[in-house]
Structure 1
Amino acid sequence: MAEILPFRAWRYNDKLSDKIDELTAPLFDVVSEKQRQALYRNPINSIHLSVPLGNKPALEAATLMQQWKENGVLLQDHLPGIYVYYQYFRLPGNDKEYVRKGFICNIKAYDWKEGVLLRHENTIPSAVNDRIALLEETETNTSPTHGLYSDEAFVLEPYMDESILTPLYVTEDYQGVRDVLAVIHDHQVIRLFVETLQGKQILLADGHHRYEGSLEYRKKRTEQNPNHTGLEPYNYHLMYLTNSEHDDLRILPTHRVLRNLDMTDEEFLEKLNVYFIITPKEDPLELNEVIAGKQWAFGLFLSGNAYKLRLKPEVHAEIDWNFPKEVKDLDLTVMHYFIFEKVLGVYRKAQRDYKDLSYVRNFTSCIRQVDTGEARLALITNEVTMDQVKRVCHSGAIMPQKSTFFYPKVISGFLFSSIKEDEFVTSPAACL
């Protein structure tokens, strides 16, 4: 089902390999303003291509990329390959070192309705438009999205494990994660990767805006090309693929922080009491622990006071959103329906662009924002499980926005994938 291709990556000149940690950057949707300003000071950091500055940022990124190619800052690999990418990391309170194993390749930008690539989250239109503009001007995928395939036999892992022993890059990124990149050029091994993925569906874990940007760009170019064959470079997208059967695939929660509340604390709690069992808690720093593993349970930190919220089971059936059971059972669906729509009066479609609502991954940051008065309240939630992601994707539905945070994030800057005619590997047969 999924068609993948090896590619000839554009990478930093090998003379710059010992400085690769100074050239990589966080993805555009997670890089903080402070990180951006520091990275922009390096004139050849990859952020100038992935999150460009200027009045016409996409055009300026394209101009800069061409200059880097002409000046030898970037060079294209001579042979097509599959790029193996491992991320070694630890989680707070756990001594185990995890390793997320995967590989980077080109994959056809399948329309959602084709049922080959499945999504689980909504996108924000303005962010998609930015990605389309960047792709149009640069004709380059500047960072890979993250997709999941299922292979219980772990067919590809031995070849990746062997490849990673001779890395192109080893660095520690902004997350404290050790990132290692290697490449496979062996024709027979590449054929195995291509054939293994042919029978798979792909679940899009991260990068919905970048993928949808590629999808819309493909549609636009297809309409403009009366001789469209489906093999043109504009049909493809850069993706990091990992096996969803691995134990080291981690999903972290994304909490909700509300800056303003048009009612008193007492009024808010009274309305919550219709739907939730409310239990006061002494220590807000334990809110993530008291809800751990409990369905439809949330931590609430409101104006300096902490509470545990647990949905009254009998009211769950009141959810009248047109979603399948797999979505209605999610904690975040419960939160967005009962708290945001029923209690706060912010209806589902308006929630996507609700300006007073922010999404925060760091638990202590949520508490701090309320303590300092930056926000009125924080809602603490549990993480979504991999099983829930799979069930929602296969149901054909999508989760509430910002439901999942696959950790660690892929970094940008190790490599770039061109979709220019003379720089692209057009089919598996071309390199096999």
Structure 2
Amino acid sequence: MAEIKPFRAFRYNQALGENIDKLTSPLFDVVSEKYREKLYQSEYNSIHISVPLEGPDGALLEHRIEEWKAKGVIVQDQTPAIYVYYQHFKLPGHTRSFCRKGIVCNIRLYDWEEQIILRHEDTMPHSVNDRKKLLEHTHMHVSPTHGLYTDVDKSIEQYMEDAMQSPLYDSEDYQGVRDVLGVIQDYEVIQKIRSLLKDKQVILADGHHRYQGALAYLKEQKAKDKLHTGNEPYNFHTMYLTNTESDDLRIFPTHRLIQGINEFSAEQFLDDLSEYFHIRSMDNDEDIMAVIAGKKWAFGLMIGDDVYKIRLRQEKYYEIAWAIPDILKQLDITILHYFIMEKVLEIKKEKQPISKKIRFERNLSACVKEVISGKAQAAILTQEIPMQTVKDVCFSGYTLPQKSTYFYPKVICGYLFGSIKPEDNHAKIDRSF
């Protein structure tokens, strides 16, 4: 089902690559404005093509890519390859070290209706358009999206381990994560990996806007080209693939901040919530995540200096009036958005994704600061969604509510770039790739 291919990546030349940690950057949707400004000071940092200062379209961006090629800032590998990407990290409260293992390859672009690549959340049109424009003017996939396949036998890991004996890069990124990149160029090994993945469905974990932008670009090019064959480079997309069965696949929760509610009253808010939730006052915010952990339909609530555990009254579940299947109704995030956002705060479902009254925050400490400072009127603290839940929803043909998951760590930009120019996708030694 999922067709993957090796590709000839563009990478920073050897001299620049010795300082690769100064050339990598966060993905476009997670880099802060302050950190972005710092990265712009480095002439060849990957931020200049992933989040260009002048915007995602224009002749200046096209010129920059060609100038980097001409000057040898980025150089294309001569042999088609599958790249191996390890991310080593630690988490607060854990004594063990984690290592998320995966491969970076080209994968055929599929429409969602084909049910080969499955999205787990919806996209925002303006972000899709930005990513499409970036592809149009760079002719490159400047950062791999993140996909998930399922292989209980972990059949590919033996080949990954071999590749990591002589890594191309080994650096620490902005997250404090150790990123290591290896390469597989052996034809027979690549064919084995392709064979192992050909019957797999892939869940798109991160990069929905980039993938959707590439898909829109493909459809546009296909409509223009009467001789379209389906094998043109723009039919493929660069993706980082990891195994859902790995113990090192981490999904963090995304909390909700509430702001801008007219005449907001903590007392009234709690009183309105009590119709739907059991409410228990807590001593401090440090304990709240442990208290709600593993409990269905339970959330942390912060208002000023006060912290509460709230849990849906079980009988209220049957009052959900949204026309969605049971598999989605039962999600904590659905409970939150139906009973708190729509019923209590009166923010209708269709308005919620674009409402300025709702902000998304992944960092618990940031939530605490926002609420105590008064920048946010309240914070709703959520639990992480298990990988099995993500799989169950996606394989059922549905998508999770927006901002349900945060796969950690994020893939970085700058290790490699995948060109969609025809002249960059041919090699004399390319036998059947």
TM-score tier by shorter-chain length is over 0.9
Hey, what does 1:293 align to over in structure 2?
294
CA contact (8 A) 1:83 1:105 kept: yes
Distance 2:56 2:130 in 1: 11
Correspondence for 2:145: 145
How far has the Cα of 1:90 moved from its partner? 0.6
Deviation at 1:220, TM superposition (A): 1.0
Match of 2:194 in 1: 194
- 1:424, CA displacement in angstroms? 1.7
Residues in 2 aligned to 1:329 and 1:152: alpha-carbon distance in whole angstroms: 27
For residues 85-234 of structure 1, what are the structure 2 equivalents within 5 Å? 85-234=85-234
Please name the residue that 1:251 is paired with: 251
One-letter code of the match for 2:157?
E
- Taking the aligned partners of 2:104 and 2:36, their CA distance within structure 1 comes to 25
SS at structure 2 position matched to 1:251: strand
Offset of residue 385 of structure 1: 0.5
Amino acid at match of 1:128: V
Pairing of 1:314-329 with structure 2 (within 5 A): 314-329=315-330
Q: Which residue of 1 aligns with 2:415?
A: 414
Q: What is the deviation of 1:213?
A: 0.6
Determine the structure 2 residue equivalent to 1:47.
47
CA contact (8 A) 1:59 1:138 kept: no
Give 2:375's aligned residue. Answer: 374
Tell me which amino acid in the other structure corresponds to 1:376.
Q
Q: Deviations over 1:357-410 (max 9, x none)?
A: 211111011011011111111110000110000001011111111111111000
Q: Secondary structure at the match of 1:212?
A: helix
Contact kept? 1:187, 1:431, Cα under 8 Å: no
Deviation at 1:167, TM superposition (A): 0.2
| C-alpha separation in 2, matches of 1:89 and 1:24 | 17
Q: Distance in 2 between matches of 1:34 and 1:59?
A: 26
Q: CA deviation at 1:323?
A: 1.9
Aligned letter for 2:291? Answer: V
Q: What is the Cα deviation at residue 258 of structure 1?
A: 1.3
Question: C-alpha displacement at 1:430, in angstroms?
Answer: 4.0
Identity score, percent: 50
CA distance in 2, matches of 1:372, 1:126: 31
Please state how far the C-alpha of 1:57 moved relative to its aligned partner: 4.5
Report which stretch shifted further, 154-163 or 56-65.
56-65
TM-score (structure 1 length as normaliser): 0.97
CA deviations over 1:43-85 (Å, ceiling 9, x no partner): 1000000001116655432221111000010000000000000
1:366-405 equivalent positions in 2, closer than 5 A: 366-405=367-406
Q: CA separation in 1, counterparts of 2:313 and 2:82?
A: 50
Q: Deviation at 1:282?
A: 1.8
Give the match for residue 6 of structure 1: 6
Alpha-carbon distance in structure 2 between the residues aligned to 1:250 and 1:323: 27
Structure 1 residue 429, shift from structure 2 partner? 7.2
Distance 1:58 1:144, change over 3 A: farther
**Change in CA separation of 1:139 and 1:55 when aligned onto 2, cut-off 3 Å:** closer
| Superposition deviation, residue 16 in structure 1 | 1.2
What secondary structure sits across from 2:354 in the alignment? coil
Are residues 231 and 370 of structure 1, via their aligned partners in 2, closer, same or farther at CA, if it must alter by over 3 Å?
Answer: same
Asked whether the 8 Å contact 2:62–2:137 carries over to 1, the reply is yes
8 Å contact kept, 2:128–2:209: yes
Q: Deviations over 1:310-342 (max 9, x none)?
A: 001111122222222221111111101111011
Asked if the contact 2:24/2:414 (under 8 Å) is kept, the reply is: yes
Aligned mates of 2:285, 2:306 — CA distance in 1: 7
Superposed displacement of residue 15, structure 1: 1.1
Q: Aligned letter for 2:74?
A: L
Q: Which runs of 5+ in 2 are unaligned?
A: none
Q: 8 Å contact 1:2–1:107 — kept in the other structure?
A: yes
Matches within 5 A, 1:73-92: 73-92=73-92
**Corresponding residue of 1:67:** 67
Q: Is the 8 A contact 1:53 1:60 kept in 2?
A: no
Q: Is this contact kept in 2: 1:285–1:367, CA < 8 A?
A: no
